[in-house]
Amino acid sequence: MTRNTIKLHNSLTRQKEDFIPIDANHVKLYACGPTVYNYAHIGNARMAVVFDAWVRVLRHRYPKVTYVSNITDVDDKIMKAADETGVPISEITEKYTCIYNEDMATLNVNAPDIQPKATEHIGEMIALIETLITKDFAYEAEGHVLFNVPNNPAYGALSGRSRDEQIAGARVEVAPYKRDAADFVLWKPSTPDQVGWDSPFGFGRPGWHIECSAMAEKHLGLPFDIHGGGADLKFPHHENEIAQSCCANNKADDPAGFSRVWLHNGFVTVEGEKMSKSLGNFLTVHDAIKDHKGEVIRLTLLSAHYRQPLDWSEQALHQSEVLLDKLYKKLESMSELNANDAVVPDPILSALYDDLNTPLVIAELNKLVKQENSAALKSQLLSVGNLLGILQEDPANWFASDEDGVSDEDVKKIELLIAERMEAKDNKDFARSDKIRDELLAMGIEIKDTRDGTQWEKV
């Protein structure tokens, strides 16, 4: 295939295929964002980083890309959090939306073009539900509105599950008002003291799945090119989105009538197990960025292929940190050179266009950094960095943080000691120079002698 073709693994066809946009002048994608009732963990961050990288690659290839990623700000979990803390729902959702966006910015994740909130799209959801009722794909029962799965024979295309299989394996009790065990909620009733909206089906709130169907359609139109999210959303969430949107738009027999391509990222694991709140083995981004730079976390999240599981470990972080230091050091040594036109080296672009093969890109980056300094190399590194969302910082700034936590007073003292040591070295008084080095080490300062003089950093 030509280097102009982006290949991607489509979960809907379970194959790697050439990406052919509906409109090459305007690519549209949607990815399910977080439910905001708590700090985002590394797993949430992986989704954001992966799709941010996809958007960067798509933008490199296509003139216009619209990326929509939602905020789910009405949900039973949020209501529970509000009950438990006594804090109003809106306060909780605003707080954690804000924290989420700040955390993602720290990871160099560009804000989506549109970040719709579920609570601002209730009207669209109600309209969608009414359409589904009219077309006999949904029905009202005891204040609920339910999607009738048996009326949609194409149901199960994404997850590869027939309705029967799903029932057989179901571990949940079937609510008595459901006509079919597989039916799922579009609207559920709220009590007067709960959050809710008036609707033709009574006072209530939307089900989770209908939110994304409504927001994706409103902001992108149907069908659009790519729908993404974590692998755990494939069933039931994405399956249900397809059912709702296709059935409401006369595409009941065409699962691709909603989104042409489905992309799913793998999980972050801890010691081989999925990172999740129920297992209690999760690490929040908020905490992670206390110990590691955002860019280090970002590169670590890109160090495995996006569909593979990624085991979170200090060793993985260390590896990313070492590489970034190496790259920034290289850039620093080329600070006098002017970067010219950005050209991404072929092997790297090919890797990126081949289903976002970021581990291969990292390998190529390791080779690239060994080349001799040149304006061309500098621009290559910077343009690759831009595609990956790294290396955009001023190198001096990157290394400056190594001095964090050292007071100005200490800096003076350190520099004085280093000068003294140089003097001792010049006089071949090595006993004294070693003593000074030990003294610095005792202060937590490590030194190294380079051609350009002695450098130090906090250990």
Partner RNA sequence: GGCGCGGUGGCAGAGUGGUCAUGCAGGGGACUGCAACUCCCCGUACAGCGGUUCGAUUCCGCUCCGUGCCUCCA
- The footprint of RNA on residues 76-95 (CB under 7 A) is 77
How far apart are CB 322 and RNA at their closest, in Å?
5
Query: Among 115-123, 241-249, 254-262, 274-282, which window interacts with RNA (CB under 7 A)?
Result: 274-282
CB of 108 to RNA, least distance (A): 18
Residue 446 token pair: 């490590």
Give ∠ CA 130-140-222 in degrees, rounded to 5: 30
Check residue 109 and report its DSSP letter: P
CB of 26 to RNA, least distance (A): 25
Q: Enumerate residues 6+ apart whose C-beta is below 8 A from 188.
A: 143, 144, 204, 205, 206, 207
Binding to RNA (CB under 7 A) within 237-256 occurs at: 237
Q: At what angle do helices 314-333 and 358-368 cross, to 10 degrees?
A: 40
Residues within window 181-210 making contact with RNA, judged by CB under 7 A: 208
Among the listed ranges 113-121, 132-140, 352-360, 372-380, the one in contact with RNA (CB under 7 A) is: 352-360
Among 27, 305, 334, 417, binds RNA (CB under 7 A): 305
Q: Using CB under 7 A, which residues numbered 359 to 378 contact RNA?
A: 359-360, 362-363, 366-367, 370
For the CB of residue 213, give the shortest distance to RNA in the complex, in Å: 13
Residue 435 lies near RNA (rule: CB under 7 A) = no
124 vs 364, beta carbon nearer RNA: 364
- State the Cα–Cα distance between residues 27 and 107, nearest whole angstrom: 24
Applying CB under 7 A, among 235, 284, 376, 403 the residue interacting with RNA is 235
Among 196, 229, 255, 395, binds RNA (CB under 7 A): 229
Nearer to RNA, 372 or 404 (CB): 372
Q: Which of residues 136-175 bind RNA (CB under 7 A)?
A: 159-161, 165-166, 168-172
By CB under 7 A, tell whether 290 contacts RNA. Answer: no
Q: Is 347 in the site for RNA (CB under 7 A)?
A: no
Q: Enter the tokens of residue 106.
A: 């720290």
Q: Is 437 in the site for RNA (CB under 7 A)?
A: yes
Quick one: 52 or 75, whose CB is closer to RNA? Answer: 75
In sequence order, the β-bridge partners of residue 227 are 30, 262
Q: Contact between 213 and RNA (CB under 7 A)?
A: no
Residues 25-44 that bind RNA (CB under 7 A): 32-35, 41, 43-44
434 near RNA (CB under 7 A): yes
Which lies closer to RNA via its Cβ, residue 26 or residue 114? 114
Asked if residue 313 binds RNA (CB under 7 A), the reply is yes
Question: Applying CB under 7 A, which part among 103-111, 146-154, 228-236, 394-402 lies near RNA?
Answer: 228-236
> Could you count the other beta carbons within 10 Å of the beta carbon of residue 137?
22
For the record, the structure tokens of 69 come out as 């990623």
Q: Would you count residue 357 as binding RNA (CB under 7 A)?
A: yes
E-only strand ranges, 198-320: 204-206, 224-230, 259-265, 268-270, 273-274, 310-311
Q: Considering the rule CB under 7 A, would residue 442 count as an interface residue with RNA?
A: no
Q: Which stretch binds RNA (CB under 7 A): 89-97, 146-154, 338-346, 430-438?
A: 430-438
Return the HEC string of 147-168. Answer: ECHHHCCCCCCCCCCCHHHHHH
22 close to 208: Cβ distance less than 8 angstroms? no
DSSP secondary structure string for all residues of 382-443: HHHHHHHT-S-S-HHHHHHGGGTT--HHHHHHHHHHHHHHHHHHHTT-HHHHHHHHHHHHHT
Beta bridge partners of 437: none
| Residues forming beta bridges with residue 187, ordered by sequence position | 145, 206
Residues linked to residue 146 through DSSP beta bridges, in sequence order: 139, 185
Q: Which of 98, 105, 175, 322 binds RNA (CB under 7 A)?
A: 322
| Structure token digits, residue 450 | 């380079």
Would you give the distance in Å from CA 119 to the centre of its chain?
22
Residue with Cβ nearer RNA (135 or 303): 303
Q: List the x/- string, 253-272, binding to RNA by CB under 7 A.
A: ------------xxxxx--x
Q: How many CA atoms lie within 13 A of 237 on its CB side?
A: 16
In angstroms, what CA-CA distances link 432 with 171, 417, 435, 447, 456? Answer: 73, 11, 5, 15, 18
Question: Binding RNA by CB under 7 A: which of 2, 4, 191, 278?
Answer: 278
- Is residue 459 near RNA by the rule CB under 7 A? no
Chosen residue from 18, 200, 401, 430 binding RNA by CB under 7 A: 430
Which residue type, as a one-letter code, is found at position 436? I
Query: 443 or 447, CB closer to RNA?
Result: 447
